Each structure stands twice: as C-alpha cells, then as structure tokens.
Amino acid sequence: MACCGCNVAAENFIVERNSDLTISLPEGARKVLPTSVELLGRDVAAVFGGELKTVPSEGRISIHIDSVKVSRPQGFRLEVAPSGRLEITGHDSHGAAYGVMQLSRLFGVSPWEWWADVTPEKKIRFELPEGYVDEQAPDVEYRGIFINDEDWGIAQWSTFNYEKWEAPSHQLRLGPETNARIFELMLRLRANTFWPAMHNCTVPFFLTEGNREVAEKYGMYIGGSHCEPMASNTFGEWHLRGKGEYDYVSNSDNVCRFWEERVKDVAGQEIIYTLGMRGVHDDPMNGANTIEEQKAVLSRAITDQRGLLGKYVDGDVTRVPQVFIPYKEVLAVYDAGLEVPDDVTLMWCDDNYGYIHHFPTETERARKGGNGVYYHVSYWGRPHDYLWLGTFSPALMHQQLGLAYDRGIDRMWILNVGDIKPAEYQMELFLDMAWDIDSVRARGVRGHMTDFLAREFGADNAATLTDVMTESYRLAYVRKPEFMGNTRMEEYFNPYYRFVRDLPWSEDSLTRRMGCYEALSDAVEAVDKKMPAARKDAFFQLVKYPVQAADQMNRKLIHAQLARHGRSTWQKSDEAYDSILTLTRIYNIGIDNNGKWHRMMDHQPRRLPVFEPVDRETASDDMAGDVEWLHQWNGSDGKGVFTLCEGLGYEGGAVAVNKGDAVAFEFPDVAADSAVVEVRLLPNHPVEGGKLSFSVALDRLKPVSVDYETYGRSEEWKENVLRNQAIRTVKFPVKRKKNHSITITALTPGVVVDQVKLLVK
C-alpha cells in the first residue's frame, strides 16, 4: 500500500482509499494522547480501509504530533505543512489528543459513532490544502458529565448486556469496559471530567477493578457530586467502609478516617476533590440542625479535608483541584457566611429544572478558584421526575448557560445526563458551549442543531429534522411528556397528586396538542422511509423514539382525560400505551444492531403511575374551558429594547429585558371599564441580589411593581417548573382613547418575558 502524504513535493494533505497513514508522537506524552491515536486508527480503518502506523519522528510521515506550545491550555493546532504533512501541535497532551479527534471529525466520523450507531461513511479520498490551519482551545477548563439515577437504564444495560457481571450482593455495575466507552465518547466530545454513577444499587467506581486505570488511559479527571466528598461515594460506600453514623458532630474521627482511606488510595490519580458534606445521600447533614450549626460543622470539615489533601496529595494544597457545591440547603449555609478557601472552585447549581439558582458576585468572580455550574437535563425528584425521554429544552440550556458564562462561570461545567441516552443532543450542545461558546452563539441553537442533524443524517434531511426536533422540544417545554398526567412525586400522602388527573386545559387545546404531535410523527416516518439502512438504528435512537414516544405518551394521557369526560374512548388511550411498549421494545432489540442497547431504555423509570395504563374512571367536574383573551402577544411581538432568546418560550418568542429597559405592546381602544394584564415570564432565579421584579403600566397610569422570584420548594415554584412559566396578573382601569399600550419595564436584571395576555371586563 502507498503511504499517504509521504511525497515531500505534495502540497496538500491527502488520504486515499486503502492507503495507510504514518504518525509520530512526542516522547513522554500522557496516556490520553496515544489513546486518541488508537481511536483515530480505528476511524481510518472504518472510513478509508487503511491502517494508521505509529513510527519514530524521523523520516517521512503523514501526521506529526509535536509538543510545541499552543497558546492556551488544552488547545490544539492543525496545520498542513508545505510538504503535505499534517502537523498537530498541542499545548499539552490533552490538547494534542483533542487535535487528533478533530481530524476524525474532519474525516466525517461522528462523536456518536458507537454510542448512537452512527456508522461512518466510507470515503474514496480526503484532502486538506497546504496552509490549512485550525486552532482551538476550550473556554471552560473542566468540562464533563455526571452519570446519575442509573438504576433503570445504563446500569441495567451494562450489568446484564454489555459487560455481563453477577455479584453475590446482586448489585449492578458499570465496569471498565463500560467506562472505556463512556470516556471514548467524552474524549471525542472534548470533555475531561467525570462524576461516576453513585446510587447504592451500583458498585462504586473506585471499588470496581479496572475503572481507575481506564480513567487514566482516557485522561479523565474524576470528581464527585455534592454528597460525595473526598472522592468517596458515601451512598454506596459508607455501609462498607464507614463506622457508626455519618455524622461530623458526634462521629468525626470515623468520618475523617473514611475520607483519609480514599485520599491515600487515589493520591496519584487525577482527582477533583469535592469539599464539605451533606447526608449519606441527597439529604441534609446529620447532627447539625440550625444554619449556624451547619456552618460550624462545614467549616471544620473543610479544614480537615484540606489537611488530608496537603498530607497525601500535595504539600501546597492550593495546587490540588477542589470544588465546593452549595446544593439545596447548603446554599443557605453559604449565604449565611460560610468561608470557602479562595483557591476552591465554587460550583453553582440549577434548581434541577434548568434554572440556575445563583450567579457569582463581583467578589466571587475574582476568586482564584473560579466558578462552576452543575446542570441537569435529567432529574429524579419533586415535583416530578423527568428520567425517561431527553426532552430538555436546548433553548433554555443555551440561554441559562450563556448567562452563566457571561457572569464568570467558566472554570467547571458538569451536566447530569442520567443514562446518556436519550439526552445525546443536549450533552453535545452543553459540551460544545463549554468548548467554544462563541461558535455556538454564532450559529445559534437552530444552526447548531442543524449541523448536528446534517452530520448524522445528511444535509438533505437536516432542515426537515431541525423543524421536527425544534417543535418537539417546544411542545415538551410547555409540558414534558412525564408531566402530562398532572401527578406529583414524593407527595404520595396527598392522593390529589398521586393519581393521574386532568390538566387544566380545554378540549380544544388538548386536541390541538395531539395534532401537533401527530404532524411530527408523520414527518419522522416520512424521513425514516428514505433513511439508509446503515443509519436506521441511529435515526430511531436520536429522532424517532424520542419524538414518537412523546407523541404516544401525550395521546395516552390526553385521550384518557377526554374519556373521563365522555369525549373520547379508553381504547385510544390504551392503544397509545401499547405503542409505547412497542417503540421501547424496538429500541432495546434494535433494527440492525443485534440488541446492542437491550435494557438501556425503560419506558417507566421508578414505575410511577403516570407511565401505567390509565385507570378508567368518570370525571365529577367539568373540563376546563378556554379563556377568551382579547389580545395575546409573545415577548418578541413587542416594541422596545430587548434581546430575543432564540427558540425559548411557549411559542419561541421569549425576550430578555435588561434592567431599566422596557418592552411595549399596543392595542386599539376597547369598550371596557377595566383590563387584566397577565404577564408570563421565564421562571428563572435572581441574577443579582435577592429578587426578580418588573413593572407594568397601562398607558400613562402609574406603573405597578411586581416581584416574582420563588424560593425553596414552594408550591408556586413547583407549578412554575412544571409549566415553565411564572405568571403575574395586574388589573387596571381603562380610559377611552384611540390606542393603548402595555409597558413592561425590568426593575432588576434577569427579566425574561415570554407572553403577555389581555382580558377586558
């Protein structure tokens, strides 16, 4: 076979079918670099049928990897030299590895080639011109994912299918073969930080032989969630390694020894240590009741933890990556004055539904340790889980994370992805934003999604599929499929929330919603008919299952609501349930992948009532009717100074209004004495200070100031996150005049107006 790119007279870097490539590596590189070359070799074989051979740096080579410094950490540079040789230089081993994976992307290999069965297309020839340059570096230093709530998906799949394993304890396990696949995906997506699965149904990461070594091979920093301090999976390990109660008030010696054992064991590993403590799992700490007591305990724990790091990891503890995560009740303790060492990263959290609780102050932005964010696109908890379908809004992610980055959250980004599948697109969007946020912003959410779909399913299908997925995400933003039964979790003491019941929607609105989903399902079916056989499984996983399963879930629960009122049949609801079972079976068995994903997809995680066939009953109350609004506007229909939040909102028209700016909506005279203005906003949290507020004015009447932030797990917050809107209503007297206007002025930063509605009386 001929050696591609070996002719010194060649001007371009050329790869041809059935040709081999030669590559040279610098000495002393970390393991992540030869690992990336190993993956590149697999890709070369898949795309061109050739072989990638590693050779010494002397002589004629096709690809040369150098240790010449690129300006920014983890950055890389691809450049075609006059000889036709491709030079890949990295700031460090990670950067060079990302450069190697960039070449795979240029060859047309999707990061999801294994995880979503995106079979690479074979090519006859590939060429980069002499002088070609591509230089990139990450915007966020630590970028990664958290495998979580793994009980019904990835842990079942790994234990009983991919990496079959049987333990005397009957625990599930994510072993080194599974983690190697996860880390391969992360490397292809330029991620470097991993929080392992941590439920007690799964053998802990560091107690599973081979996991530690595979993390090193792929260059992964291992971290842990808010309740996993000092690289210790408390939920899975305390009952094995701990002694007494996990209580730093009455049992601190044993708790500290529990941490010390792990730190001694992993001191040579790349670890990002989580400081502080909560309960054994997702609960408040034991032994300290008041905020002041909790603050005292946390202060002592952090001091002791840093002492362990200084003793076993690095005498200069400030050089050890550390993070403090003020999650749930710990945020109140931090706000009460808890002092966290300046070199420790502060990681801020969303409220589990995509709305970030806190943005750094000027003082926090100036910290040496910087700021991070822990974000969810999958969640188990109140008011309701969303563990099944990956329907989290890309537009909301884009808006919230963009705001986070602009306000100094740029040290560490971690995404709770659940089982990875079926949140593939959200995971890629998150990591692409962490790598190069300006590039994503330049393309916008739609452009980014179109590029993703074109890469996976061809440019001819990209526009149609972008329309389908955008509308699917919009419908789920209005109400996620898991929320359509109007149930609540962890409130079983109240039957009103436990059992499936009516949504407060009219028959017309329910019927329209089913029609929207039916149109999406039909469009997906049309594309599926012309999808090449090699991409059928990928299409089913990334598009067909999430769209059509959401369609059938809506049909099941909407027909049930209509049947309760005698306006549909129970048979239609039951047929939709059967369709969900059929779709899920196809997902797990596969179309042409020999059952590769068997046990990965569970259509009823936690066996919640909303996932079951709906019990047949007759409603005792009338169905809700439509409110006859005189006028309805999206935020983008107004006039004023604002920024469109692309794709965000009930109809994709939400706008961000800066403090002091206003958006106005005009309407003609009405024969009425009063007007009711309903303002529907993004149910986000304050960006600065302790509140969100705006004013509403009708014509020249005195503006009415309105606050709308929510706290904790209040009833209003629950309603807000289930419907993705915060609602405020103001009533005004009306004076007759030719034209009227409603003016909404932001009194604080962070105001995002979704819709405005007008009712006259």
Q: Are 264 and 286 contained in the same domain?
A: yes
Which of 384, 415, 435 marks a domain boundary?
A: 435
Q: Are 569 and 683 contained in the same domain?
A: no
Q: In sequence order, what DSSP letters do the residues of 444-463 get, joined into one string?
A: HHHHHHHHHHHHHH-HHHHH
Of 511, 504, 514, 598, the C-alpha closest to 552 is 514
Q: Are 83 and 184 contained in the same domain?
A: no
**Does residue 2 form part of some domain?**
no
The domain spanning residue 103 has which CATH number? 3.30.379.10
Q: Is the dihedral of CA 445, 448, 450, 453 positive or negative?
A: negative
| Per-residue pLDDT at 5 exceeds 70 | no
What's the rounded Cα separation, in Å, for the pair 431 and 191?
7
> For residue 203, what are the β-bridge partners?
none
pLDDT on residue 56: 87
Q: Are 124 and 154 contained in the same domain?
A: no
Tell me the mean pLDDT in the region 155-180.
91
Q: Which of 279-283, 349-353, 447-451 has the lowest mean pLDDT?
A: 279-283
Q: Are 247 and 377 contained in the same domain?
A: yes
pLDDT on residue 493: 66
What's the rounded Cα separation, in Å, for the pair 141 and 473?
29
Tell me the mean pLDDT in the region 710-727.
93
Q: Are 294 and 428 contained in the same domain?
A: yes
pLDDT on residue 333: 94
Q: Are 148 and 131 contained in the same domain?
A: no
The per-residue b/e assignment along 669-698, b for 16 or more CB within 10 angstroms, e otherwise, is eeeeeebbbbbbbbbbbbbeeeebbbbbbb
Which of 90, 115, 136 marks a domain boundary?
A: 136
**Does residue 386 form part of some domain?**
yes
Which of 87, 114, 136 marks a domain boundary?
A: 136
**Does residue 626 form part of some domain?**
no
Tell me the mean pLDDT in the region 563-568.
98
pLDDT on residue 10: 54
DSSP state of 544: I
CB 145 within 8 A of CB 417: yes
Amino acid identity for residue 669 in this structure: D
**Does residue 78 form part of some domain?**
yes
The domain spanning residue 698 has which CATH number? 2.60.120.1620
Per-residue pLDDT tens digits for 388-411: 999 999 999 999 999 999 999 999
Q: What are the CA-CA distances from residue 745 to residues 146, 639, 659 (Å)?
A: 39, 12, 8
**Does residue 618 form part of some domain?**
no
**Does residue 186 form part of some domain?**
yes
| Per-residue pLDDT at 712 exceeds 90 | no
In the numeric block, which tokens belong to residue 359? Answer: 């943005």
Mean pLDDT of the chain: 95
Q: Are 416 and 487 contained in the same domain?
A: no
Q: φ, ψ for residue 24 (rounded to 5)?
A: -120, 145
**Does residue 622 form part of some domain?**
no
Instruction: Give the count of domains, the chain.
Output: 4
Q: Are 399 and 515 contained in the same domain?
A: no
| Per-residue pLDDT at 142 exceeds 60 | yes
| Per-residue pLDDT at 3 exceeds 60 | no
Q: Are 476 and 583 contained in the same domain?
A: yes
Q: Which of 325-334, 406-415, 633-642, 720-729 has the lowest mean pLDDT?
A: 325-334
Tell me the mean pLDDT in the region 642-656.
98
pLDDT on residue 376: 98
pTM of the model: 0.97
The domain spanning residue 598 has which CATH number? 1.20.58.2150
Residue 77 CB-half CA count within 13 A: 17
User: Can you give the length of the chain in residues?
Assistant: 761
Q: Are 220 and 259 contained in the same domain?
A: yes
Of 375, 420, 436, the C-alpha closest to 542 is 420
pLDDT on residue 4: 38
Return the H-helix or E-strand segment holding 14: strand 13-16
Per-residue pLDDT tens digits for 286-303: 999 899 999 999 999 999
The domain spanning residue 357 has which CATH number? 3.20.20.520
Tell me the mean pLDDT in the region 446-452.
98
Q: Which residue has the tokens 């502060």?
A: 346
Domain that holds residue 373: 142-435
Per-residue pLDDT tens digits for 187-226: 999 999 999 999 999 999 999 999 999 999 999 999 999 9
Q: Are 331 and 212 contained in the same domain?
A: yes
pLDDT on residue 1: 30
| Per-residue pLDDT at 2 exceeds 50 | no
**Does residue 460 form part of some domain?**
no
Distant-in-sequence, close-in-space partners of 676: CB < 8 Å, separation ≥ 6: 729, 730, 731, 758, 759, 760, 761
